[in-house]
Structure 1
Amino acid sequence: MRHANPPSRRNTLQLALALACAAALPVQAQDAWPSKPVRMIVPFPAGSFTDTVARVVADTLGRSLGQPVVVENKVGANGVIGVSEAARAAPDGYTLLLTNSSSITINPQLYRKLSYKTADLAPVTMVLEAPFILTANPEWAGKNGIATVADLVQYARRNPGAISYGSPGAGNIAHLSYAMLNNRAKINTTHVPYKSTAQAQLATIAGELNSSFDVLTAVPHIQAGKLKALAVTSPQRIALLPEVPTMEQAGIPDFNVAFWIGLLVPAGTPPQTVARLNSAAQGLLTDGKAKAALSAQGELTMRDPAAFAKRIAAEVPAWGAVIQSEGIALD
């Protein structure tokens, strides 16, 4: 009977050791992230502006994290389908979202019925931002004497609804930018939605559309004479098109519009995972090839999660005011 105490001490020691090991398991599991491939949801088509940026970001992240980052294009409804899937995903660091500002700061205010909220996603970093270029089909512009924004406005006033313009979808920031132009210049034009920026751009080149707010991928087409640039939406002229005036210089005051591409994760993703993703994304600044590829699309603008969250918070009411003033709402 005197041997009862020693087994009790052994049991106590074994229990304590077991509890210590169990407590350590979540930390070890988290430290091991990522232990398998990571998917990056892109809510726009392959070959689109956002997808082009995503491929560069995915490659850089994959090399830094030591696991493949696989791009998955989940297309439809102006980005809603892909963003919704990302918002519903497990917050374990294995689902990323690479998207543009329309889907985060505009869609939640624009759609009466939407399956996600801005708060359902946690910011990791902005990647780049860029202005729009107001372009026109050169043959149409030449035939109608349109060489400036003022000429475009005067033509629209003489011919209400005659000008057709495109965007990557109803409610996209390019659509809202033209709606702003309509409002500021007191004109009426006709919106034609497409599935992507690239499709709208090609339609303007082909003459299916008269005009569009286009992205910087339009620059080579402008230089080749396939598109006519009327103005840029940045506060200053851009180096790629130094002869093209800003919208304010062209006679439309207080018209500064920029869109961004950013990396986000489902809300609730561990802060250490968000921090590691942000750190890995900084490699875009030091990788010469990646930096050159992204600089052709816009200004490479990396931000920490807090600064990115602040940018999003500032844009929500700004675009909300535009949506309200234009009376735009989608189901």
Structure 2
Amino acid sequence: MTQEKIDRARRRMVSAAGTVPLAWAAGGGTALLAPHAWAQADDWPKRPIRVIVPFPAGALTDTIARVMADGLSKSLGQAVVVENKLGANGVIGASEVARSAPDGYTWLLTNSSSITINPQLYKKIPYKASDLAPITPIMESPFIIVANPEWAQRNKINKLSDLLAYARANPDGVRYGSPGLGNLAHLGALMMSNRANVKTLHIPYKGGSPAQLAVMSGEIDFVFDTWAGLPLIQSGKVKPLAVTSKTRMAQLPDVPTVEESGIPDFSVTFWLGMLAPAGTPPQVLQKIFAASKDIMADPKARASLSTQGNVIAEDPATFAQRIGRETLAWGEVIKRENLSLE
């Protein structure tokens, strides 16, 4: 059997201790790892490790990856090197990891869109969620719905309910931006508009920073922003209208949730997490998880991570369940809206 066939067979095996490939998450099933895979895991790691980040240097995902890589290099005793592989809303980087050997030396650090949305949204995509083995999420965050302050003042928009009332009176007269077609910020804003029975105009950008600049300049009226937008809120460059979590953010105690603004049962959050090629030995996944959990508990690292969101650690099995639930939920949105990208 060639190495390529061996790797392909391993990727079809169990991807985490106590879990099965994500495609089976709702049903069940079992698989066994080859004995030599267990033996190889005993002395892992023996060489440097690559962490693929499918977004630009300096972006949120990259910042989190470098904090984790620094700590993991020390705790694992091998260099953990971040590599940025850009393109197609995270598809290129995720695809590279999905087709890598499941030996524990190539990881993916990405956002939830890459795993729970992209495989369902793109017609031609070279990987499935089940091609990747969950390790752990690192942080979770709601979006902050922010508006251009001059536009908001001109139209007497002080809260989200005002924006929705204005949009209802002006179909397609409210423009919102996102970091790209199919991005979670796009789908979240679309879901909000549909739940509120309003028509808004979507303008996609190539990344979160261009979308932020667009809302500040007045090119668009509002955007679903991340915690990276907190300094812009504090400086008055954007106006916060609501947060998309179930509860208010401690950093913005006076900003209501979307639910409080009149849309019941609304919650949209995103996570950043680590995954490996499916078939990676469970002991390796557990070693990475244990080391990652220790880093997230370290006061210095936690302080850096918590500037971007709520720090969370979940074992591979729990993380797989989270991914399974979110995949089903966003699949329903994509199907209902008849969304599809090439």
TM more than 0.5:
yes
1:326 is the counterpart of 2:337 = yes
**In structure 2, how many angstroms separate the alpha carbons of the residues matched to 1:141 and 1:293?**
33
Q: What does 1:198-217 align with in structure 2 at a 5 Å threshold?
A: 198-217=209-228
The alpha-carbon deviation at position 28 of structure 1 amounts to: 7.0
Do structure 1's residue 124 and structure 2's residue 129 form an aligned pair?
A: no
* Whole-Å separation in 1 of the counterparts to 2:162 and 2:341: 32
- Pairing partner for 1:71 from 58, 82, 102: 82
Q: How does 1:155-234 map to 2 (within 5 A)?
A: 155-234=166-245
Q: 1:10: which partner in 2?
A: none
CA contact (8 A) 1:77 1:169 kept: no
**1:113 aligned to 2:128?**
no
Distance 1:29 1:154 in 2: 61
State the distance in 2 between where 1:75 and 1:271 align: 29
Structure 1 residue matching 2:50: 3-state secondary structure: strand
TM-score (norm 1): 0.89
In the alignment, does 2:112 pair up with 1:101? yes
- Matching residue's letter, 2:60: F
Instruction: State how 1:226-265 maps to structure 2 within 5 Å.
Output: 226-265=237-276
Aligned residues: 308
Deviation at residue 307 of structure 1 after TM alignment? 0.4
CA distance, structure 2, for counterparts of residue 300 and residue 26 of structure 1? 32
| 8 Å CA contact retained: 1:183, 1:326 | no
User: Aligned partners of 1:158 and 1:25: how far apart in 2?
Assistant: 65
Compare the two structures and name the one with the higher helix fraction.
Answer: 1
How many angstroms does 1:26 deviate by?
7.6
Look up the equivalent residue of 2:255 and give its one-letter code: V
| Structure 1 residues 276 and 251: CA distance shift in structure 2, 3 A | same
Residues 1:130 and 1:25: Cα distance change in structure 2 (over 3 Å): closer
Contact preservation (8 Å) 2:38, 2:281: no
Counterpart check, 1:91 vs 2:91: no
| Contact 1:49 1:197 survives alignment (8 Å) | no
CA distance in 1, matches of 2:130, 2:305: 27
Task: State, as a whole percentage, how many aligned pairs show the same letter.
Answer: 57
**Which amino acid in structure 2 is aligned with residue 308 of structure 1?**
F
Distance 1:247 1:61, change over 3 A: same
**Separation in 2, partners of 1:227, 1:94:** 42
In the superposition, relative to structure 1, how do residues 28 and 310 fare at CA in structure 2: closer, same or farther (>3 Å)?
Answer: closer
Contact 1:237–1:246, Cα closer than 8 Å, also in 2: yes
Return 5+ residue gaps in structure 1 as ranges.
1-23
Deviation at 1:158, TM superposition (A): 2.6
Q: 3-state SS of the aligned residue for 1:293?
A: helix
Q: State the Cα distance separating 1:96 from its structure 2 match.
A: 0.4
**1:43-82 alignment runs, 5 A limit:** 43-82=54-93
In the TM superposition, what is the alpha-carbon distance from 1:27 to its structure 2 partner? Answer: 7.1
Query: How far apart are residue 25 of structure 1 and its match?
Result: 9.2
Larger radius of gyration: 1
Secondary structure class of the residue paired with 1:250: coil
Task: Tell me the TM-score normalised to structure 2 length.
Answer: 0.86
Tell me if the contact between 1:40 and 1:71 (Cα under 8 Å) persists in the aligned partners.
yes
Distance 2:160 2:99 in 1: 43
How far apart, CA to CA, are the structure 2 residues paired with 1:286 and 1:313? 26
- Which of 311, 321, 325 is 1:314 aligned to? 325
Task: State the alpha-carbon separation in 2 of the partners of residues 227 and 328 from structure 1.
Answer: 30
3-state DSSP class of the match of 1:70? strand
Counterparts of 2:85 and 2:215, CA distance in 1: 26
SS of alignment partner, residue 282 of structure 1? helix
CA–CA distance in structure 1, aligned partners of residues 150 and 113 of structure 2: 31
